[in-house]
Each structure stands twice: as structure tokens, then as C-alpha cells.
Amino acid sequence: MQCSGIGYDVHRFATGRPLILGGVDIPHERGLEGHSDADVLSHAIADAVLGSLGLNDIGFYFPPEDDSIEGICSLDILKKVRQLAEGKSAWIHNIDSTLIAERPKIMPHVERMKIKIADALGIKPSQVGVKATTNELMGFIGREEGIAAMAVASVEIRE
């Protein structure tokens, strides 16, 4: 059975934190605030895969109240999502995602993101799409208060 899911995540900027997107440390004067490494792209992808499987969102599996996972690498979240997919006899066909940010420039880092995301999910980098756009200076993203990400996952569940 072919299934698809969508994911969305957003995090506000914070000083004194690294900016991690798609598992890649991006040079920038601010990082993103969050209980984990706040990798907004990996979180959106995780929710897309979980949704395609008919499962709860990442907050169910990685609750922000759980002190034992504070600072967790979001690639580890994707690895857990992969295990959940495998537990349902599912395989991930592809991921398509979009980062929404005014700055920093994302495209110089996309190939490394695709490799890291693919590795965590057990797929090929050619099965991962990562795009970037701005919010045309509108809203909280346009004011550079944070970054958002959207993702779609296509999964086959063998029943």
C-alpha cells in the first residue's frame, strides 16, 4: 500500500546555539531554540514519515518534558522513525522538503543535508529532496525571528 504524509515544524532563533539543519552545522550568528538540537528540517521530515505510517507525531515519541533526550541529535530522531517504519514493514520511497528562511543561504549545504538525512533513514540521497525559499520579508520568518520547514514522505507499507 502506497501512503504519504506531511510534516511541518518551526523554531525561533536563539543566541548561543548552533544552527543545525538536516544534520548539518550551518555557519550563522544564531541557532534555533528547542529541547533537541532544534533541527527544524529533520523534525518536519520525521513528522511526514510518521504521518505516512498513521503514527503519532514526534512529540509523542520524543516529548519535550523528557530530560533524558534534551539536546538529542535530530538525526537520531530520524533513525528512530526509520525503526518504526521497519516495524510496520514499510519502506520509504522518497522525501521532499522545503526550508523557509530569509537567511542564511541554504543551497550551499543541501548536498550534505541530503546525505545525512538519507543515511539516517536508510535510503539514497537521490531519494531526498531539499529545497529552500524565503518568506519575501513577511511575517516572523521575514523578520528573521525563526525558520520553518515542510516535508512530504512517500512510503510503501507491505501488509
Instruction: Render pLDDT for 82-121 as a digit per residue (tens, 0 to 9).
Output: 999 999 999 999 999 999 999 999 999 999 999 999 999 9
Indicate if the pLDDT at residue 13 is higher than 90: yes
C-alpha closest to that of 18 among 7, 4, 33, 6: 33
Sign of the torsion angle spanned by Cα atoms 80, 85, 89, 92: negative
Whole-number average pLDDT of the chain: 97
**Whole-number pLDDT of residue 159:** 72
Q: How far apart are CA 90 and CA 86, in angstroms?
A: 5
Structural domains of the chain sorted by starting position, each given as residue range(s) with its CATH number in brackets: 2-62+70-157 (3.30.1330.50)
pLDDT digits (tens, 9 = 90+) for 34-62: 999 999 999 999 999 999 999 999 999 99
| Burial grade of 125 (CB within 10 A; 0-12, 13-18, 19 or more) | middle
